[in-house]
Amino acid sequence: MPPVTDIAVYQKLSEIADDLDQLASDGPSLVGEAALNTAARTVRGMATAVYQHIMSTSDETQDS
Average confidence (pLDDT) over 29-58: 95
Cβ–Cβ < 8 Å for 17, 40: yes
1-15 residue pLDDT tens? 889 999 999 999 999
How many domains, the chain? 1
Angstrom distance (rounded) from CA 16 to CA 45: 12
Q: Containing domain of residue 15, as a range?
A: 6-63
Angle (deg, nearest 10), helices 30-63 and 6-25: 160
Instruction: Please report whether residue 41 resides in a domain.
Output: yes
Q: Does residue 1 fall inside a structural domain?
A: no
Rg (CA), the chain: 15
Q: Is residue 34 part of a domain?
A: yes
Q: What is the pTM of this model?
A: 0.82
- Residue 59, domain member (yes or no): yes
Place 63 in a pLDDT band, splitting at 50, 70 and 90.
low
**CB count in 10 Å sphere of residue 40:** 19
